[in-house]
Amino acid sequence: MKNAQISLRSLLSSLFAMVLLAVLFQACSKDDGPVTPPVDKTRLKARLDSATATYTAAQEGVQVGQYEVGSRAVFKTAIDAATTVNTNAGATQSEVNNAYVNLGQAQTTFASKQVQEIAPANLVLFLKMDGNANDASGKGLNGTLKPGATGVGSWTGWGGTSTNLPVATKDRYGNDNRAYSFDKGANIEVPYNSVLNPSKELTIAAWVRPTKVNESNYIVSLNRWNGYKFQLQSVNKVFMTVKTAPDKIFDRDNESPTLDLNKWYHAAVTYKSGEMVFYINGTPVKTWTDVTGDPFAVKSTINLTIGQDLPTGLYQFNEKNDADGNNFHGPWGGFFTGDIDEVRMYNVVLGGTQIRSIYNAEKP
């Protein structure tokens, strides 16, 4: 009997202990809530290490492989912001994740600021205008200084040629005889070569200083609207025409800004099917996407001209049967009035960084 009482007492004690433990466990579970996992900064730390190494090795400048001036400071700001989150013991996982994404975007932007090489084969014409019209591209397409057509009375009576050749003048740095001044059709004629008529892509860039607003201030032209032409128009905006089929011509301008007179600008345009982009002083100012087709040139063996819409010898005003049957040269336009320097043409679309690097290397 005594042993039975002891066993019962032990059993009750065990049951009471089990009930107490269950109550305590349930209470603890309700009070403590879910356990928060530790914040993981592994990916952020790895990206910080990579970004810091890139920043440390980067050099600013205009040479291939260098980065645009000012871009390192912007990148360093992003690195510092990510470092602040990484070293903050109280940072949440959401803050860490955001810092990781933001730093990745900054890395991508910084990479886009690196000056890229332009293959020499892609440069098809480079007229430095340093006292002559020789081609520095290596293609040997040297230009010749030509006079424009001269007028007698109304433009319908124009005929013959004048003696107003392009005149050597100061460049944007103020150096004598390092650019050419153009007026009244004075032009530089470059002998036709198939490389001047690229089949897919095109980039034209030049330093220009307009001194008069004309309806058609031609800078570079390959048979004007039967091929392509780069010019200023009636309100002094940069303008490009590209013909892509016998019945398809695209005329577009940079929209804004307009160019001031008597001031040097670096003007550039790129074209490929689906995109025409204008640049002023290294900055993209307008992108057109409603252009389609590859460059197409009718009568493509016509020589290219700098400073006029057509080679002077093709104007036959009395018979009105110049290169395309449309007299266009007149007192209101068809020729550039002002100074031109450093004309470049490429058979590829240059990227924004490449065009900015040209501008940064040559700006006064």
Q: Where are the domains of the chain?
A: 42-112, 120-362
Q: Which pLDDT score, from 0 to 100, does residue 316 have? A: 53
> CATH number of 42-112: 3.30.390.30, 3.30.30.60, 3.20.20.70, 1.20.1270.90?
1.20.1270.90
Q: Which pLDDT score, from 0 to 100, does residue 16 have? A: 53
Tracing tokens 């031609």 back to the chain, one arrives at 218
Helix H or strand E encompassing 220:
strand 216-222
CA distance linking residue 263 with residue 13, whole number of Å = 101
| Cis amide leading into 166 (omega within 30) | no
User: Which tokens is 319 given?
Assistant: 């018979």
Q: What are phi and psi of 157, to 5 degrees?
A: -100, 10
CA distance linking residue 347 with residue 151, whole number of Å = 37
DSSP conformational letter for 356: H
Q: Which pLDDT score, from 0 to 100, does residue 94 have? A: 95
User: Which tokens is 359 given?
Assistant: 């501008």
Closest CA to 130 of 172, 98, 93, 91: 172
Q: Residue type for 240, please?
A: M
Instruction: Tell me the pLDDT tens digit for each residue of 257-303.
Output: 999 999 999 999 999 999 999 999 999 999 999 999 998 765 568 89
Instruction: Please report, for residues 277, 308, 322, the alpha-carbon distance to residue 315 in angstroms, rounded to integers and kept in the order given.
Output: 32, 12, 5
Q: Report the sign of the C-alpha dihedral through residues 186, 187, 188, 189, in that order.
A: negative
CA distance linking residue 159 with residue 317, whole number of Å = 6
Q: What are phi and psi of 361, to 5 degrees?
A: -75, -25
Q: Which pLDDT score, from 0 to 100, does residue 13 have? A: 56
Say what the pTM is: 0.78
3 state DSSP class of 149: strand
> CATH number of 120-362: 1.10.940.10, 2.60.120.200, 1.10.287.1260, 3.20.20.210?
2.60.120.200
User: Which tokens is 199 given?
Assistant: 């089949």
Q: Which pLDDT score, from 0 to 100, does residue 157 have? A: 35
pLDDT tens digits, the chain, 364 residues: what are they? 445 455 555 544 555 555 444 544 454 454 555 667 899 999 999 999 999 999 999 999 888 889 988 999 999 999 999 999 999 999 999 999 999 999 999 999 999 888 887 888 999 999 999 999 999 999 999 999 998 765 433 333 344 456 689 999 999 999 999 999 999 889 999 999 999 988 899 999 999 999 999 888 999 999 888 899 999 998 999 999 999 998 899 999 999 999 999 999 999 999 999 999 999 999 999 999 999 999 876 556 889 999 998 888 776 544 444 445 454 554 445 789 999 999 999 999 999 989 998 999 899 9
Q: Which pLDDT score, from 0 to 100, does residue 14 have? A: 56
Instruction: Please report, for residues 153, 254, 263, 285, 342, the alpha-carbon distance to residue 277 in angstroms, rounded to integers and kept in the order given.
Output: 40, 8, 22, 8, 20
